[in-house]
């Protein structure tokens, strides 16, 4: 595909569109995912003492329960949609959602473990992963990934969506060119759906097994 006259890199197009409603919505979406990721990790951590007490299994043998962190991918995706100006400030705000998830996990542990037991606490990790999976479906694909894989029209459609949500006339959205390192580029969110499905399946299976021991 030949480049249009006046075509610019994806980041330049984002800078021209600016920060607006789309980025605020994406902050909420990625923030909820980041908080749920933290909660999933700490829910298991809070449950481990009771698990070892009930089954007499040393903690090192339970490390397989540790979930995989997906936060860096959320940070990367959010950063791709941010204008260069004030990008660092918005990334710090997104990072603060990790603390929200940690506090939520601690509160759940305080409420559930003494009353219902660690099994109910562990079961809530499946809810956290389901939330991550649901949120992922609401996030558009990375325009940089689309451009890097030759899907320039799709990348421009995503940028047009961003412009509409930010109340920027679509005629002001420039055409884009693929990045120079297109052959080595990968979408930061490309594997996220399958990863979330695997995590959700593991959490559901784990929760089912622990309840079957009651």
Is residue 129 within 8 Å of 207, Cβ to Cβ? Answer: no
Name beta bridge partners: 100.
none
- Give the pLDDT of the chain (214 residues) as one tens digit per residue: 445 667 788 888 899 988 999 999 889 888 888 888 888 888 878 888 887 877 766 655 555 555 555 555 667 788 889 998 888 899 999 989 999 989 998 998 899 888 888 888 888 877 767 777 777 777 788 888 888 888 888 988 999 999 999 988 878 788 888 776 554 444 444 444 444 444 444 444 444 444 444 4
Q: What is the pLDDT of residue 52?
A: 80
Tell me the residue range of the domain where 159 lies: 10-212
Is residue 33 within 8 Å of 101, Cβ to Cβ? Answer: no
Residue 2 lies in a domain: no
Residue 1 lies in a domain: no
Residue 4 lies in a domain: no
Distance CA 43, CA 59 (A): 15
Residue 5 lies in a domain: no
213: which 2 tokens? Answer: 């021991």
DSSP classification of residue 78: H
Task: Give one word for 185, left, alpha or beta, with left for phi > 0 and alpha for psi -120 to 50.
Answer: beta
Three-state DSSP state, 8: strand
Name beta bridge partners: 8.
176
Residue owning tokens 């939330």: 131
Task: For the chain, give percent helix, strand, coil, nearest 5.
Answer: 70, 0, 30
Count of the separate structural domains present in the chain? 1
Residue 76 lies in a domain: yes
Beta strands in 130-175 (DSSP E): none
Helix (H) or strand (E) holding 165: helix 152-165
Is residue 187 within 8 Å of 142, Cβ to Cβ? Answer: yes
Three-state DSSP state, 176: strand
């Amino acid at each position: 595909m030949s480049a249009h006259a006046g075509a610019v890199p994806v980041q330049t197009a984002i800078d021209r569109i600016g920060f607006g409603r789309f980025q605020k919505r994406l902050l909420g979406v990625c923030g909820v995912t980041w908080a749920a990721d933290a909660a999933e990790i700490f829910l298991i951590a809070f449950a481990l003492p009771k698990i070892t007490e009930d089954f007499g299994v040393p903690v090192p043998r339970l490390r397989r329960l540790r979930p995989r962190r997906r936060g860096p991918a959320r940070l990367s995706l959010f950063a791709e949609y941010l204008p260069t100006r004030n990008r660092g400030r918005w990334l710090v705000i997104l990072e603060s959602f990790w603390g929200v998830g940690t506090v939520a996990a601690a509160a759940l542990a305080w409420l559930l473990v003494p009353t219902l037991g660690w099994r109910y606490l562990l079961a809530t990790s499946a809810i956290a992963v389901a939330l991550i999976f649901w949120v992922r479906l609401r996030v558009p694909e990375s325009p940089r990934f689309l451009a890097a894989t030759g899907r320039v029209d799709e990348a421009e459609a995503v940028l047009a969506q961003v412009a509409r949500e930010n109340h920027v006339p679509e005629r002001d959205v420039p055409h884009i060119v693929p990045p120079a390192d297109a052959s080595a580029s990968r979408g930061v969110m490309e594997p996220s759906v399958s990863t979330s499905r695997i995590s959700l399946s593991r959490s559901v299976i784990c929760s089912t097994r622990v309840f079957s021991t009651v």
